Chain A
């Protein structure tokens, strides 16, 4: 690693972005991540895609400091927040106390309530987590992350367990929150549409390394029906080794032709 490159990396890290160089992770002799290079600029939204078991979540946990068994180097800002696939709220703390958990400084209750208002749950602040719906619980988890004003927001398939309609709303909420607060964001997902909808860049993890990078250069808010959107989605699907549903469309077109 050259001196200038090293300096650049250090700069990026101090400026609240993420720099991963040559990161590897081995579980019981099985290599999950071999040689991952990844940079997230401050305020950038990056989506990380990959097949099941490709190590997406492992990489996120490494960046989040939850997995200390990594080789290579990972520089991430100290102020980070993680939203998991399950809400992971403490069932014995009321909603606002969950959001406030571990907060430092003054006005803790007010800050928690403000964060809850922002995700539309101000009225539920005194409820028990067990009385929340899946979407509400996940929004509470988002509020718990955002109230910490993180420089880095790590989202580990946060909408994976939600039903389709709730997921759409939650995605819109994340887009809005990201535009307001502008943390560097890493979204781990298996949903290609979600990646194109939210991210500046989509990365595909394959064989233990970042195999492909696709820049999503579309104006926000994005529409799934936009031809450019569709094209990007197809590219990502191809990158994941899945046809973009072509055969189905081909047959409908065939039918149309036969009708004509």
Chain B
């Protein structure tokens, strides 16, 4: 806070000697000081957690009772998780599922980004790529399951293939929209600065499209986990889906809920990762952040 105090006094001192061109000398907005202080950060965190704590509390109270006789309490779910951690089973399943999602998303997002960039930058590519992508987009991933099983068998390759296909579309659509949404006036300014084609893309088009691309990234990651569930519901010897099916066989509702909670946490974690990326790459934006 010392910075905030010293800045206005510095400005006041500078006014008489400042060149005549200074139009708003009193302006002392230091962007770094806009982030809330530690104390407000703490209360904010508390506020954000209250909702979740309430939900878990109500769940604990209602389990095995008015939430249904077969509904396990959070404590039971934690216990089930602890058992699986002790035997090391949980890691095996998590690793298998994580690997499928990681490969599938990496390839799918890559394909979507390349197709989107081509279609966004070149009219020819758009004409060629857009129609087939739009047709494929309308097919739900679930409906592709039988075809993909016939093509790839019921092993890992089928599951990964399914996870590859799903995120292509949100990434593609948002990359195209992002590129096309870049302000034409900025493109023109860049032309007047005689940027090379590479510089134009690197310093104008890509950063201009980035906010929209992040929207696509969020959707893609969400869809990735979703399709994983669908894929692993088919015959699976290892993975979170197997854990779920196995628990269903033996009526282990605590394990079923455990898998649901794990899915939720994984989704939350990926969303958090995207937020970190946004904070890093979109720090120049000063849009409305709520009051």
Contacts and interface: CB of A to CB of B under 8 A. Distances in A.
B103 interface: no
Contact of A84 (B29, B185, B195): B185
A101 interface: yes
B20 A172 contact: yes
Interface in B183-202: 185-186, 188-195, 199
A72 interface: no
Contacts of B204: 90
A169 to B, nearest CB: 5
A224 B140 CA distance: 71
B54 to A, nearest CB: 38
Interface in B8-31: 18-24, 27, 29, 31
Contacts of B193: 81, 101-102, 144, 148
A64 B194 CA distance: 11
A131 B29 contact: yes
Nearest to B287: A130
Given A127-B31, A128-B284, A131-B286, A84 B24 contact: no
A144 B186 CA distance: 14
A169 B24 CA distance: 11
Interface in A136-190: 136, 139, 144, 148, 162, 165-166, 169-170, 172-173
A88 B185 CA distance: 7
A107 interface: no
Contact of A102 (B185, B194, B208): B194
Given A120-B18, A127-B31, A133-B23, A92 B195 contact: no
A102 B202 CA distance: 11
A169 B23 contact: yes
Contacts of A162: 23
A86 interface: yes
Interface residues of B, number: 30
A98 to B, nearest CB: 10
A144 B192 CA distance: 11
Contacts of A84: 185, 189
B285 A91 contact: yes
B185 A91 contact: no
A90 B185 contact: no
Among B19, B191, B192, B193, which residue has the most Cβ atoms of chain A within 10 A?
B192
A169 B22 CA distance: 7
A68 to B, nearest CB: 11
A120 B188 CA distance: 26
B203 interface: yes
A128 B31 contact: yes
Given A64-B192, A102-B190, A102-B193, A120 B19 contact: yes
B237 interface: no
Contacts of A74: none
B192 A93 contact: no
Given A66-B191, A82-B192, A102-B193, A90 B207 contact: yes
Contact of A90 (B21, B24, B203, B283): B203
B75 to A, nearest CB: 48
B182 to A, nearest CB: 10
Contacts of A135: 21, 23-24
A92 B206 CA distance: 10
A88 B189 contact: yes
A135 B29 CA distance: 15
Interface in B22-48: 22-24, 27, 29, 31
Q: Which 6 A-B pairs have the closest CB atoms?
A: A135-B23, A102-B193, A88-B189, A92-B207, A166-B23, A82-B192
Interface of B: 18-24, 27, 29, 31, 185-186, 188-195, 199, 203-204, 207-208, 210, 283-286
14 contacts: A64-B192, A90-B190, A90-B204, A91-B284, A102-B190, A102-B194, A102-B195, A120-B18, A120-B21, A128-B283, A133-B27, A144-B193, A148-B193, A169-B22
